[in-house]
Amino acid sequence: WYQRRVRVSKGRDGRKVIVFTGHDLSHNIYETLLQHNLITCEKWVVLPLPDLLEQTGLTLSEIKTIQAAASEKLCPKVHSISPSSEKSFDWSFGSRNLDISFGCLLKEGKVLEIWGSSGSGKTQLALQMCAAIPPKFCSAYISTEGGISTSRLFDICHARGVTTANCDIQACNAVDSFCDCVLRQLPLLLATKPVKLVVIDSIAAPFRAGEVEGGGVRRAQKIRSIGQQLKYLSSEYNLLVVVLNQATDHPIKGRLPALGMTWSYLINSRLRIEKLQHENAMGARRVSLDKGSCLKLGTFVNCIIQKEGLL
């Protein structure tokens, strides 16, 4: 769901790759990249910082400069509105109660996690946030759990009197395809479309489905690379990233978000959604704050799932 708009070359496998030229970097740095076979921009987005420092012998400042140049070549900005005339964008949960209570979490340049058990309503909430995006903008929905229910998205739009939801959808189940989607394909989509909301559903599914080649260390590196990329893109393109996360049971601490502390450090705020366990609670949910600086931890709102979504 993207189109390339930069000059590319072909690699040995026939796949198009974007490379640095002598005009992009200083002569000494360019020669160092040639020497270590790090001339492709994609490697500077995918490889973790410690590996780049060890392989090149460059300083941290020089590596940051190269990474910025790589990001610019991979996803050049498309400016349709001058910064002075662009108005601030207002995101919405698609629910007045949630907007009043947790609206301060919906800011550009932020990564919001919504976690809960299976069937708690995470996808429901994400879909109605996509439906709330104004027609002249769009959302990007990356599903790692076998695709999303487009019929449910249509039902939400129909119940709200919205003709359509401008939502680009991509499905990827394996770890490698998920990393490729976030690290390479997503930046190119953002460079060509006015995306204001990116949804990942869910972050944990690919990493819990099977073993990651390289073991736990490589798994943590991939999680950090994805988290850092999402934070960078949210800031660079003035958009909001909403990441859905699964729940896991700890023998001592009880039910917790999946992926542990490695992932927790990469998000700005966290909401928990859970079913209410009492009589006449059919469709009743509780949304509470687990992490955030603008509200008191534990702040909660009770909602009900209806045709229009979680209200």
SS (H, E, C) the chain: CCCCCCCCEECCCCCEECECCCCCCCHHHHHHHHHCCCCEHHHHHHCCHHHHHHHHCCCHHHHHHHHHHHHHHHCCCCCCCCCCCCCCCCCCCCCHHHHHHHHHHCCCCEEEEEECCCCCCHHHHHHHHHHCCCCCCEEEEEECCCCCCHHHHHHHHHHCCCCCCCEEEEECCCHHHHHHHHHHHHHHHHHHCCEEEEEEECCCHHHHHCCCCCHHHHHHHHHHHHHHHHHHHHHHCCCEEEEEECEEEECCCEEEECCHHHHHCCCCEEEEEEECCCCCCCCEEEEEEEECCCCCCCCEEEEEEECCEEC
Mean pLDDT of 176-190: 90
> Taking all residues of the chain, what is their mean pLDDT, rounded to a whole number?
83
Confidence of residue 300 (pLDDT cuts 50, 70, 90): very high
pTM over 0.95: no
Distance in angstroms (rounded) separating the CA atoms of residues 167 and 169: 6
- On the question of a cis peptide bond just before residue 149, with omega within 30 degrees of 0, the verdict is no
Query: If you compute the radius of gyration of the chain from its CA atoms, what whole number of angstroms results?
Result: 21
Q: Measured in Å, how far apart are the chain's first and last C-alpha atoms?
A: 31
Q: Are 116 and 148 in contact (CB under 8 A)?
A: no
Distance in angstroms (rounded) separating the CA atoms of residues 184 and 178: 10
Confidence of residue 83 (pLDDT cuts 50, 70, 90): very low
**What pLDDT, on the 0 to 100 scale, is given for residue 269?**
96
**What pLDDT, on the 0 to 100 scale, is given for residue 126?**
94
Distance in angstroms (rounded) separating the CA atoms of residues 121 and 309: 9
**Which of 67-71, 98-102, 132-136, 271-275 has the least mean pLDDT?**
67-71
Confidence of residue 274 (pLDDT cuts 50, 70, 90): very high
**Which of 41-50, 117-126, 270-279 has the least mean pLDDT?**
41-50
